[in-house]
Chains A and B, each alone.
Chain A
């Protein structure tokens, strides 16, 4: 309870303290009262005995009969109480008493400070002059004094203990604060780990207590800071690797061009050779230009020079503009392009940067057209799911081997097949596409065309491909995984792009 900081705890502490104090005081008062009661009780008994005996004697001598028990106890009690209150004494009685005591040898010297003397004195000073001096009051005073002293002592010791406790607490708190400040200082110095000490304190001591919470917070903060640092380092690393990749990519065409130019400088070339090498130079120049275009896009995207400009606009317009851009290329290769989607989808609006998303779709379409034989079809399917729009781009091309699929989205990766290297390309398109799609909060992956054919709602399609169409679901994925490898050639590829329908 003392671990909690803030005024609430302080209030609690004060309340506790007051309660303890009240308890002590009331205990002392109770003790005094009990003691007083006992003493009064005892005196009453003695006096009752005395006065009772006297009145009995008087009664019996006067009337010759014994008193009738209880009926007589009241006057006895009353007279005893009177005596205790200091009434019912007169000088005569006192004198008589003194004489009797003297006659038995219990005489008290006048200035001896004995009890009787004091009684006599206080009696003389009393209001009525002839009142019995009150031993009871004196005792009361004395026991009050003792009790007060005891209470004061008890209070002081509790207070001291409390102070000690508070001081210890404060010291502990101070230690913890210092520890925290040490950790913060370490954070500033760039060391984001908690000290082993603190860490174990966080784990073991009181995980649920405030200290545990503080430790957790500090750990989270450390993580946050280190993730910021990591991301800045990652950026630096990305830039470095981009520069490395760039120079690597540029080297080949530049070297090839250089060699061709070197050859062209020779005077002894035939016209045919000259044409050939000029042609080569132009090809390399074209490749460089391609590469440059792609690189400009990449570097803009990577260095954050272009932030995507999101607008709420219709996905269909973006798809249409990508299709219109690929159409001439496809037509030249006798490849048809079709779009399947429910009519209602044409009006669906998503949060997108139409220019870059179009670029992303175009890259996939270019890829599909590039690796498909003439006379085939590229199908674009758009489906609405719960949270995402699913765009499938399916071709009947050479396919992508399963173990290469996760690499195709890497920067500058190009497939190992001869069929791939035959085609021009920089290995940048799909990489860029993935970056753009992910920046939209989406996802892209490649799959066997047959595997996604089920979504085409053309029941015969999957069967035609020799795949277990209707049985095709995720449960039988492993079986398909195995068979997929054998038919991954010439089976076509489907790129699945998912774009969120709303902001995530």
Chain B
């Protein structure tokens, strides 16, 4: 299996001396292409910090992250930004939709900012897959939580990234909607050949993953 994401002794410390907080310690993990990987941990276990480093949003204190064999923290800042825009998608718990523009514009906005041409047929297909094609003219605020997260997922899928990082994507949703959104997320990522790395505190959600990392106090304590 081709490894798409790999870390080596990834560490993130805050503060120093007595006040030093070891948010992430010596994390070495691998995720293969096309996998649905889940990082499970309780609040404060360091899973978000880890995810931010995996996605190149935050620099580690030490250690390395490779995405498709590329040491991302060796890249120049601009190149890293380009890598993030083109190869990585993000989905957050808080959806982070732009409330003043409609669903379609929200989905294609990052493409426009990157100066890419919008592959309209593809975006439409994504919206159809996620069952929000009839909502494209709506403003985000008029949608339910589940629908908003679908829009956020569509936005992440639209730039055809290789890997999507999701930070508690269903944290704001009820169990049924959460199950549905995750099933949809997983199936659409599979359809478009994308890899997902998702963090959650819900071990039951972790069941459907191909790969599970359990993180406690900043350390990966088990993997399956």
Contact = CB atoms under 8 A, between A and B. Distances in A.
Contact of A230 (B1, B175, B177, B184): B1
Interface in A457-504: 473-475, 477-478, 481, 496, 498, 500, 504
Nearest to B116: A208
Interface stretch (B55-63, B101-109, B207-215): B207-215
A475 B171 contact: yes
A477 B201 contact: yes
Contact of B70 (A199, A386, A473, A475): A199
Interface string B184-199: 1011100101000000
B33 A474 contact: no
A481 B206 CA distance: 12
Contact of B176 (A193, A234, A385): A385
Given A193-B69, A406-B224, A226 B2 contact: yes
A86 interface: no
B120 interface: no
Interface string A305-329: 0000000000000000000000000
* Most-contacted residue by chain B among A227, A233, A234, A474 (CB, 10 A): A474
A454 B177 CA distance: 13
Contact of A402 (B75, B173, B203): B203
Interface stretch (A126-134, A264-272, A442-450): A442-450
A345 to B, nearest CB: 15
Interface in B68-103: 68-70, 75-76, 79, 82, 86
A223 B1 contact: no
* Most-contacted residue by chain A among B82, B130, B146, B203 (CB, 10 A): B203
Given A454-B175, A474-B175, A500 B204 contact: no
A477 B2 contact: no
Contacts of B191: 504
Contact of A223 (B33, B129, B178, B206): B33
A452 B86 CA distance: 39
A483 to B, nearest CB: 13
B203 A498 contact: no
A504 to B, nearest CB: 5
A90 to B, nearest CB: 79
Contacts of B141: none
B203 A387 contact: no
A451 B170 CA distance: 16
Nearest to A499: B183
Contacts of A473: 174-175
Contacts of B178: 474
B175 A452 contact: yes
B179 interface: yes
A75 B131 CA distance: 94
B224 A500 contact: no
Interface string B119-147: 00000000001110000000000000010
B1 A496 contact: no
B200 to A, nearest CB: 9
A383 interface: yes
Nearest to A407: B224
Contact of A474 (B180, B202, B212): B202
A84 B203 CA distance: 106
B131 A477 contact: no
A399 to B, nearest CB: 13
Contact of B204 (A199, A387, A445, A455): A445
Contacts of B171: 474-475
Contacts of B208: 443-445
Given A406-B207, A445-B204, A481-B202, A387 B180 contact: yes
B207 A474 contact: no
Nearest to B33: A227
* Most-contacted residue by chain B among A207, A208, A481, A504 (CB, 10 A): A504
Nearest to B69: A193
A223 B174 contact: no
Contacts of A447: 204
Interface in A375-415: 383, 385-388, 390, 402, 405-407, 409
A455 B183 contact: no
A504 B188 contact: yes
Contacts of A216: 86
B34 interface: yes
B167 interface: no
A383 B174 CA distance: 15
Interface in A188-241: 193, 199, 203-204, 207-208, 216, 219, 223, 226-227, 230, 233-234
B75 A203 contact: yes
B115 interface: yes
B162 A504 contact: no
A227 B2 contact: yes
B183 A443 contact: yes
Nearest to B209: A406
Nearest to A203: B79
A441 interface: yes
Contacts of A208: 115
A91 B62 CA distance: 105
19 contacts: A193-B69, A203-B79, A204-B79, A207-B79, A219-B68, A223-B2, A383-B176, A386-B146, A405-B204, A406-B203, A445-B179, A452-B175, A455-B176, A474-B171, A474-B172, A477-B201, A477-B202, A481-B202, A504-B129
Closest 9 A/B residue pairs (Cβ): A443-B183, A445-B207, A406-B207, A387-B131, A477-B202, A385-B180, A498-B183, A504-B187, A478-B201
Interface of B: 1-2, 33-34, 42-43, 68-70, 75-76, 79, 82, 86, 115, 129-131, 146, 162, 170-180, 182-184, 186-188, 191, 193, 201-209, 212, 224
Given A388-B179, A474-B175, A504-B187, 5 more contacts: A385-B176, A386-B146, A443-B183, A443-B187, A498-B180
